[in-house]
Amino acid sequence: MNSKTIWVNGRFLTRKITGVERVAGEILSSLSHDYLDDQGRYDHNGHQLHFKLAIENDSSFPVPSFAKGWEIKTVGRRKGHIWEQLDLANLPPEDWVLSLCNTGPLLRANQVIFFHDAQVYAIPQNFDWKFKWWYKALLNIAGRRSKKILTNSEFSKSELIKYTGISPEKFETVLLGCEHIQKFKPQAPIDVLSKLNGKPYVLAVSSASPNKNFASVLKALELLGTDAPHCVIVGQQYSKVFKESKLNSDRVVEMGYVSDETLAGLYENAMCLVFPSFYEGFGLPPLEAMLLGCPVITSNCSSLPEVCGSAALYCDPNDPSTIANSISFLVKNPEQVSVMREASKVHAKQFTWRKSATHLLKILEKSVKI
């Protein structure tokens, strides 16, 4: 039997779970559960892909569920970027490396690498020069050397092609899933809901990145004045932004970072999620919200119309009045909130990690030529 080894770049397992780490974990979990045997092998027509996990020296974390039964190898003696560029790159040249979180060995040819967006080119002001230099090097060198570049939307694909000049034939779009949010038992924060006294609220997810455009949510609520619904904010806390805001603080609840269970509970109970990001490669939060029946108001740019389709309301992220108008529409038309809840669920159910894993496996079969 013709067998090819694919080493999964396990560096992401040592980091806190954010967007790209979640994507890697969910795709690999679905791949392992739906297609691989208990040793990480995929057999097809007398050929085999054998998935193994490569980790850094002294990595201390529980064996991920997707890799139970796999060969797990501590590669080299280094950590971080140096490990990735020297130790991981030094695996047998006939083997393949699968890197799912934006970084991988610069000079390795037998590699499939996932780049999630082109933000360093499109919004360079959000990054320091060292990060921009390194990420552009990864895109241009690792991207050109690798056999395939994966990305998460047609928008991201077009952006990466535009800014790097890499041949379109090298790219494959692997849409993401969102059903992971259903793993978490929703826990509505009773203290917060009690404070709101049953009144409808909009949910906003803040971030340290100015790209998320959190300030425009507050400006939109200011424009609505006494007609503004309450707002629950999760994520990064912005004391400076609030000090500069004229919004009545009694109408806003800041929760900081919350558990996945609490976030699921907030999605389920919100009148809508407001997500006016300036730039997204994909945009998981709107889909998570939709799957749990939460209507979404989001930006009319980047990947968001592609991902959210006709199930969302759209705003101009540069114009808070358009956000205010969409919120006002839902406040004044509660029947539309009910309609959007059902349409959102139907739309989001199209995006599954099984589909992501299936597409990835087909790309690997073709690239590795088993």
Tens of pLDDT along 288-317?
999 999 999 999 999 999 999 999 999 999
Phi and psi angles of residue 313, each rounded to the nearest 5 degrees, phi first: -100, 145
Long-range (24+ apart) CB contacts under 8 A made by 69-77 are: 69/38, 69/39, 69/40, 70/39, 70/40, 71/39, 71/40, 72/10, 73/7
Give me the amino acid identity at 87.
D
- Considering the entire predicted model, what is its pTM? 0.93
Q: What letter would DSSP give residue 318?
A: T
Element (H, E) at 29: helix 19-35
DSSP, collapsed to helix, strand or coil, labels residue 256 as strand
- Quote the pLDDT of residue 247: 55
Instruction: Give the separation between CA 334 and CA 14, rounded to whole angstroms.
Output: 45
Q: pLDDT over 70 for what percent of the chain?
A: 95
Asked whether 341 and 295 are in contact (CB, 8 A), the reply is yes
CA angle 103, 153, 314 (to 5 degrees): 125
92 contact partners, CB below 8 Å, separation of at least 6: 5
- Quote the pLDDT of residue 243: 53
Using the Cα atoms of residue 137, residue 23, residue 298 and residue 156 in order, give the sign of their dihedral: positive
- The answer on pLDDT for 337 being more than 70 is yes
pLDDT in tens, 136-171: 999 999 999 999 999 999 999 999 999 999 999 999
DSSP, collapsed to helix, strand or coil, labels residue 246 as coil
Q: How many CA atoms lie within 13 A of 77 on its CB side?
A: 0
Number of helices (H), then strands (E), in the chain:
15, 14
- Quote the pLDDT of residue 317: 96
pLDDT in tens, 243-255: 555 555 667 888 8
- Quote the pLDDT of residue 199: 87
Write down all domains in the chain, each with its CATH number in brackets.
Answer: 2-177+352-368 (3.40.50.2000), 180-348 (3.40.50.2000)
